[in-house]
Every structure is written in C-alpha cells, then in structure tokens.
Chain A
C-alpha cells in the first residue's frame, strides 16, 4: 500500500485464495493486534486494488527468484488446481513477506493421523470452520499455543489440555526490558482467562513424549519436564485425544531470499531469519523483507515492518515515500521495541535438548522419505558423515516433497550438527514450491 500510494506500480502475489495470510485467515472481524484495525486496513487495500493501484494476484505461488539486470525476475505458478499456469514478473524491487510455519520436533507416534501443527489446527478452524477432532490437546511451546487453544475454544472445540514445555511465568523476568508491549501481554491474559473459564488445564513444564494409536491418534503420553526438557520420572500421564495440535515455535519461510544469496541470521528463537537493516533491506540491493521471515515476532511487528519495507521499496525505486520522516522514525523505534519483546518471548519459550532422548531408533525423522532416526544416527557413526549435507545425501532425509523444511533443523540437532552454518546451508532451496516440468519447459535460449 505504501508503494502504491507513493506512485510505484505494485504487484501483490499471495498463495492463498484471499488476502490476509495465516493471521487474518477467513477473518471478518479479526481479534488481536493493535493499532489500525484489520477491517480498515482491508478497506484501504481493497480500494487500491479496485483503483488498479495494486495488481493483486491470488492463488499464486512464487517458485523462483532470480536477479536480472538491475532488478529481479519472480517466477510464479498457480495453485494446485492450476499448477501449469506459470508467469514471470519483472520488478525493480521485491518485498518478501512469506511468513513462517510451525517448527516440529519428532517424537514416537508423530506421524499418526490426528497429530498436526498448531497452525494447521488454527487454519482448519479459522479458514474452514472445522474442528480438528472431538478431544483436542494443544501442545509444544510458546504463546501461540494459547492463541490456538483460544481459537478452538471460541469455535466450540473441546480442548482437553494445553501442554507447555516451558515456564511462561519466566516472561516477567525476560520482558522487563520490553515492558511497553502492553497490548501483547493483554492478548495473552485474555487467552489464559478463556482457558480458565472453560476449565482447560494449562500444564506448564509438561511435554508430549509420544503419541499412540492404531491407524489414527487415540492418546498421548505426557510427562513433567525439567528446565532442560528431560522428563521427571513417575510423572507420566496418558491423555485420551483424537487431535493433537503441536508446535515448538516457528520456522521462517526464507526460500526465495536464499535463492539470490541474501544473508541469513540466526534469530533469538534459534531459527533462521533473513538479515535486514533498520529499513528492512536485505544484503541484496532491491530485495526487502518484512514480517516473520526476518525473525519470528508476531502480527504487530509484522505490520510495522511491512510499512517500513514499503518505504524502502519506494526509495529503492528512486521515489519519495508518502510517509513522513518522523513517522518512519517512529516506526523503526516501534519495530526495535517489539523485537525486544519478541526476544523476551523467545527467551521464555526456548527449545531445550531434552526432546532428543525421546526420539527412539524407529521414529521417523524425515516424514517424506520415511527416514528413521536410526538411519540418520548410523550415517554419522558408521559412514563418517561430518555435516548436514552428508547426512542428507547418505540417508535422503530432507530430500522429499517438503525438501527438509520440516526436518532439516531437527536432523541437524539429532546429529549434533546444529550450527548456524549448517542451518543456513541447509536452507538453500532452488525450487520454492514444486512446479510441473511441463510448465517450465521451453526451447528458448535467453530469458
């Protein structure tokens, strides 16, 4: 919107059938978030689209980004019904706001139908109005679990428990540096009180050890854990459930930036993020990034970053943005403040190593290629694999449909190769979403 209002021609592509992303999925009157209401934002956006200030292309996936002349070529395809519908978009500037997806840790039984990500459960209920099961457990770590539970409860769902591996009360200690983020804490308080009203237990310092069931999820076993996530003996507890919504933080979608060699950094959550400066500019001139893809931080931060990214895009095109310098200055200060709060959340809800001991030899670590933990461990102990790439080539972990988006960081961790270098190296994916050969086939010699 900033770009369009500043006189740039702007094209917006989104993989979804409607704008709004995961946060505002199916939202009529969205809850949460502060500042400008989503309804007002949407009215303004829709107005620009109607006035042809923004060329909006929905149900469109970008599978590759290439540098070209003094700009970029973005290659796109249609949704899964229209995979052959490809196009190329040339642009001086590309703003990446590709978001994130739930980070998963493998555990025995995690491939049983009924075990799904927190984001997946939320998408079911928010996007389609469907509950994932009759008895739902929400588990993992992070404040997002509360948002998922809240969405499920609000839709009439029976949430058996929320199982949180960390101690949320530590937030008070970590957040001291970032107290002004009052809106965020109010959200959390609202979620917690909703749980209390429905008498949903919020089990802190508890972790899902395994899932059981024949052809689908029937129950899970949870344990109390210490601060390193090692189970406390004698605290095993079986919860009957037919749906488990689980997630341990998020993984940023950085594929397109990786394709053009943009610098990455390790965020305070231990995950990969695109490195940006205070104007959301990446290390590649003209490539700008905003939102979760630059580090997991939530919706308020994402919206602010989006505005600043718009300014950077306008400036890169050699124009003056419609925003005043003081507004931009305020925005960058707010971004820094919200980043501080995100860091406090990540310090409160870290990943701890205790989960690794639960991954028995038979547990699949790579779901796509069905690679067991035993095979991955053998690659290191017997075949002399010294790095993540060797493990991948020797075992095929991470070489299937999802290209390691789900398993690469955990395979690294299980092998003890979870270094920044390995995380960054393993994130290079030349094809961001599978595309039919027939759609890319060409006889042409030049672009």
Chain B
C-alpha cells in the first residue's frame, strides 16, 4: 500500500527490519511504527481495557494516544509519532499494556 512518494526517493532506498507479534516485516527507512504496520495491512494493534475494542490511529500526530503500542517491551508508545528502527520488537497491546 506504499505511496508513490516512497518509491521515488531513490533506487536503493535503505530499509528497516522489525517484527510485529513475532512476524518479521521490512519497510523503507523513515516510517513511523503506525505507517509501517498500515503499509502491511495491519490497521489495529491494541484492544481497549474496558470494551476490548480494536484501535489503530486516530489523530495520527501524537495528540490522542489512541494508537498506543508496545515497543521493545515498553508499553504505551505512540505508534503514530515513533519512527520504526531496525531490530524493533513491536507487540500489540491488550488493556493497559501492563500484562493485565
């Protein structure tokens, strides 16, 4: 689902390798965690703590905290403003993100 813009940035654009819930993914460098997941068709990565509803991004610019995700063991990282880096272990979150 990558846009043309990312393809035009050079023939050998550097890539980033990460895992999401154990599955390896590769994306162009410079993407946010949310963008990296959405580009692979993953639109939600969290279930809310009361209604267990799936959530993905809402504001997309770091204000609403709806897109929280667990990054390298640290819960409640905003997927929409955090850039993905090689070696990142990204995990979906249930509830508060503290293993509840």
The reply to whether the CB of A124 lies closer than 8 angstroms to some CB of chain B is yes
The reply to whether the CB of B26 lies closer than 8 angstroms to some CB of chain A is no
The answer to whether residues A127 and B54 also contact, given A17-B83, A216-B44, A402-B64 and a CB cut-off of 8 A, is no
Do A216 and B58 touch (CB < 8 A)?
Answer: no
Contact flags B50-94 to A (C-beta < 8 A → 1, else 0): 110111111111111110100100101110111100000000000
Q: Closest approach, in angstroms, between the C-beta of B40 and any C-beta of chain A?
A: 10
Which one, A79, A104, A112, A367, contacts B82 given CB within 8 A?
A79
Interface residues on B, range: 35 or more
The reply to whether the CB of B4 lies closer than 8 angstroms to some CB of chain A is yes
Q: Closest approach, in angstroms, between the C-beta of A129 and any C-beta of chain B?
A: 3
The answer to whether residues A129 and B34 also contact, given A113-B54, A120-B60 and a CB cut-off of 8 A, is no
Do B50 and A123 touch (CB < 8 A)?
Answer: no
Interface residues of A in 418-447 (CB under 8 A from B): 434
Q: What residues on A are CB-neighbors of B28 within 8 Å?
A: 129
Q: What residues on B are CB-neighbors of A406 within 8 Å?
A: 58-59, 63-64
Q: What residues on A are CB-neighbors of B68 within 8 Å?
A: 401
Do B81 and A116 touch (CB < 8 A)?
Answer: no
The answer to whether residues A405 and B39 also contact, given A79-B82, A80-B81, A116-B57 and a CB cut-off of 8 A, is no
Q: What residues on B are CB-neighbors of A405 within 8 Å?
A: 63-64
Do A80 and B35 touch (CB < 8 A)?
Answer: no
Q: Closest approach, in angstroms, between the C-beta of B90 and any C-beta of chain A?
A: 12
The answer to whether residues A368 and B59 also contact, given A120-B80, A124-B38 and a CB cut-off of 8 A, is no
Do A129 and B80 touch (CB < 8 A)?
Answer: no
The reply to whether the CB of A215 lies closer than 8 angstroms to some CB of chain B is yes
A347, B42: Cα distance in complex, Å? 39
Chain A residue nearest to B60 (CB atoms) is A120
Do A114 and B64 touch (CB < 8 A)?
Answer: no
The reply to whether the CB of A117 lies closer than 8 angstroms to some CB of chain B is yes
The answer to whether residues A216 and B43 also contact, given A81-B71, A101-B59, A120-B59 and a CB cut-off of 8 A, is yes
Interface residues on A, range: 35 or more
Do A125 and B5 touch (CB < 8 A)?
Answer: yes
Number of residue pairs spanning A and B whose beta carbons lie under 8 angstroms apart: 154
Do A125 and B57 touch (CB < 8 A)?
Answer: no
The reply to whether the CB of B48 lies closer than 8 angstroms to some CB of chain A is yes
The reply to whether the CB of A186 lies closer than 8 angstroms to some CB of chain B is no
Q: What residues on B are CB-neighbors of A102 within 8 Å?
A: 59
A253, B43: Cα distance in complex, Å? 27
Chain A residue nearest to B31 (CB atoms) is A128
Which one, B1, B34, B60, B78, contacts A134 given CB within 8 A?
B1
Q: Closest approach, in angstroms, between the C-beta of B46 and any C-beta of chain A?
A: 9
A257, B6: Cα distance in complex, Å? 37
Do A129 and B31 touch (CB < 8 A)?
Answer: yes
Q: What residues on B are CB-neighbors of A26 within 8 Å?
A: 30
Chain A residue nearest to B85 (CB atoms) is A81
Q: Closest approach, in angstroms, between the C-beta of B74 and any C-beta of chain A?
A: 8
Q: What residues on B are CB-neighbors of A16 within 8 Å?
A: 81
Which one, B30, B44, B62, contacts A128 given CB within 8 A?
B30
Q: Which 3 A-B pairs have the closest CB atoms?
A: A120-B60, A129-B6, A128-B35
Q: List 8 A-B contacts (CB under 8 A).
A: A16-B81, A80-B81, A112-B54, A119-B61, A129-B7, A129-B28, A130-B39, A405-B63
Binding site for A on B (CB under 8 A): 1-7, 9, 28, 30-32, 34-36, 38-39, 43-44, 48-51, 53-66, 68, 71, 74, 76-78, 80-83
Binding site for B on A (CB under 8 A): 15-17, 22, 26, 79-81, 101-102, 104, 111-117, 119-134, 154-157, 215-217, 242, 253, 364, 367-370, 400-402, 405-406, 434
Known: A128-B30, A215-B54. 13 other contacts (CB 8 A): A101-B64, A102-B59, A104-B59, A111-B53, A111-B55, A117-B59, A123-B61, A123-B80, A130-B3, A133-B43, A216-B43, A367-B66, A370-B50
